[in-house]
């Protein structure tokens, strides 16, 4: 059977324009290992939605396909913001676990290391970073944190791989965090479909949101503009308010950087 393939043309925004706003580097693996057709459809839909949200806000986005030959991280960092989208599992070697994780899927060690380099470089340059799902996990790993390789009691976090992988989940946002300020609430229902999550929050980061079972659902830097959310705000099957708030906040932070 021929493996599915996601083409760049399939994720381009429907509505385009002559954007002159902040530049955003968007990191996503369009064709990571083990890709199936249902997951390829999710990659198409989620990536397209994320790029459309940027276009609608006048951002000049640049997609970096981390499953393709990789450029030097410094070339990506000539930007005003970084957005890391979801995808396959993070290489266990990066967070100190020997051997493959249970139910491991879609690991691309080169993409992981490249993304970690970009995250670290962005923080060094005071470039705002938003990580979604895998992107949030990579933010934690970049700062020295660990991951849960496979959530044993997964019912809150994902559905059936043969039916609907994504489920609605209530997330509790920590008071006094940047994430709470962005979302304007202390709880919200999100779309989620993950079998891994942050375990130990990295030194230098702080917990920003949790699930009802205590699973980490959001992290952030207390000083730099760095936020990671475990859920998928770019899933159009879920509510749009949180998606709009997160993308608005990222672009506001990028504009503040360019104006300072």
For the stretch 48-83, pLDDT in tens is 999 999 999 999 999 999 999 999 999 999 999 999
Around Cβ 44, how many Cβ atoms within 10 Å?
16
From 128, 151, 148, select the one nearest 228 (Cα to Cα).
128
Q: What is the pLDDT of residue 95?
A: 97
Q: What is the pLDDT of residue 17?
A: 65
Q: What is the pLDDT of residue 167?
A: 87
185 included as an active-site residue = no
Intervals of the chain under pLDDT 70? 1, 17-18, 154-164
Domains present along the chain, CATH in parentheses: 8-143+218-259 (3.40.50.880)
Q: What is the pLDDT of residue 160?
A: 62
| Residues contacting 214, CB < 8 A, separation 6+ | none
Q: What is the pLDDT of residue 212?
A: 93
Q: What is the pLDDT of residue 15?
A: 77
Q: What angle do CA 18, 73, 85 make, to 5 degrees?
A: 65
Q: Which H or E run contains 137?
A: helix 134-142
For residue 2, give the DSSP letter.
Answer: P
Residue at token pair 């202390």: 186
* Torsion of the alpha carbons at 147, 152, 156 and 157, rounded to the nearest 10: 40
7 included as an active-site residue = no
Q: Which H or E run contains 226?
A: strand 226-229
Q: What is the pLDDT of residue 238?
A: 87
Which listed residue (133, 157, 169, 194) is catalytic?
Answer: 133
| Residues contacting 226, CB < 8 A, separation 6+ | 119, 123, 128, 129, 131, 139, 205, 220
> CA 39 → CA 30, 76, 204, distances in Å?
10, 26, 33
234 included as an active-site residue = yes
| Residues contacting 144, CB < 8 A, separation 6+ | 202, 203, 204
pTM summary value: 0.96
């Amino acid at each position: 059977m021929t493996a599915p393939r996601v083409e760049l043309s399939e994720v381009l925004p429907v509505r385009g324009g002559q954007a002159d706003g902040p530049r955003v580097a968007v990191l996503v693996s369009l064709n990571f290992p083990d890709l199936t057709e249902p997951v390829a459809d999710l990659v198409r839909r989620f990536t397209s939605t994320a790029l459309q949200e940027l276009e609608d806000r006048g951002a000049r986005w640049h997609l970096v396909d981390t499953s393709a030959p990789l450029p030097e991280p410094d070339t990506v960092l000539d930007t005003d913001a970084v957005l890391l989208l979801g995808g396959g599992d993070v290489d266990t070697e990066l967070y100190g676990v020997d051997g493959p994780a249970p139910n491991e899927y879609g690991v691309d060690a080169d993409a992981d290391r490249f993304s970690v380099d970009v995250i670290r470089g962005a923080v060094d340059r005071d470039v705002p970073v938003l990580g979604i799902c895998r992107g949030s996990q990579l933010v934690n790993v970049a700062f020295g944190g660990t991951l849960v390789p496979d959530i044993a009691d997964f019912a809150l976090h994902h559905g059936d791989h043969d039916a609907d992988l994504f489920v609605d989940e209530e997330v509790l946002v920590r008071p006094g965090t940047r994430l709470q300020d962005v979302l304007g609430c202390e709880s919200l229902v999100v779309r989620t479909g993950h079998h891994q999550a942050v375990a130990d929050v990295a030194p230098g980061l702080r917990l920003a949101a949790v699930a009802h079972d205590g699973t980490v659902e959001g992290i952030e830097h207390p000083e730099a503009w760095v936020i990671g959310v475990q859920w998928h705000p770019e899933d159009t099957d879920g509510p749009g308010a949180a998606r709009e708030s997160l993308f608005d906040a990222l672009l506001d932070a990028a504009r503040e950087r360019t104006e300072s």
